[in-house]
Amino acid sequence: MSESNILSPGPQTNDGSKKMLIAMVGIGVVCALLIVFSYEGTFGRIEKLKAEALEQAVFKVLPGITKTGIFELTPDGKFIPSDGKDRTKTLVYAGYDDQNSLKGIAIEASGQGYADILKVLYGYDPATQTIVGFYVLESKETPGLGDKIEKDENFLANFNGLSVALSEDFTTVINKVVPVKFGTKINPWEVEGITGATISSRAIGNIIGESTETIIPMIYQQQESFKSVPKPATK
């Protein structure tokens, strides 16, 4: 080895730092541009796909509907027709059959899962006061294990007639939806878990429990506002 150190401080240091700075800033700018371009390029399509997936999901959780209408929750607790563009508001999706009669309402809910926030959609039928369908919109649960909440038939059967009956004055859910262990479901308001996806399935039970507790009494009391198909109804 020679005595001269490549990194030795000296007249080159300033030059070296400048080079480093230029390289890092240059690469940073190019990378930022690439990311912005690909974001801009895909944004429209991603939003479109997500909206399509949501619409398909509404049809999945409310069996027998042919059209849907979007409603938003105003700060004073009223449901009014909405164009659904402002995703920061609480939106619900009413489903109607061919005769334009209300078949049910799809509600979005979210909460902490095993890996990340879980986003789900469930269908509520005010006539029978039950949950009639369930679909996972967004999940990062472990493939093969936690993602059973989307596929396990036994688990999905929980959401066919899950009771959310209201008290006599229609202000509270009598029995809050609760998760129970696999094989111990007795009551119609219990969500039976999955072996191998304990945390994820319990999370779903809790998410639905929390969501129904607050929103179901509001929806039930305002059923009239959903009765007619809103103007910008989507087919």
Chain residues in the site for another protein (CB under 8 A): 7, 16, 19-20, 23-24, 26-28, 31, 34-35, 38-39, 41-42, 45-46, 49-50, 53, 115-116, 138-141, 143-145, 147, 196
Nearer Cβ to another protein, position 145 or 229? 145
**For another protein, which is the closer residue by CB, 85 or 151?**
151
Report phi then psi at 38, rounded to 5: -70, -30
Element holding 99 (H helix, E strand): none
- At closest approach, how far in Å is the CB of 84 from another protein? 17
How far, in Å, CA of 228 to CA of 56, rounded? 21
Nearer Cβ to another protein (42/74):
42
Residue 95 to residue 125: CA distance in whole angstroms: 10
CB of 41 to another protein, least distance (A): 8
In angstroms, what is the minimal distance from the CB of 49 to another protein?
A: 5
Q: Min. distance of Cβ 207 from another protein in angstroms?
A: 17
Nearer to another protein, 9 or 75 (CB): 9
Dist. CA 223–CA 24, nearest whole Å: 59
Q: How far is the CB of 73 from another protein (least distance, A)?
A: 25
Spatial separation of the C-alpha atoms in residues 235 and 93, rounded to whole Å = 13
Q: Rounded distance, CA 181 to CA 176, Å? A: 16
In terms of CB distance, is 10 or 41 closer to another protein?
A: 41
Distance CA 235, CA 230 (A): 12
Q: How far apart are CA 92 and CA 115, in angstroms?
A: 26
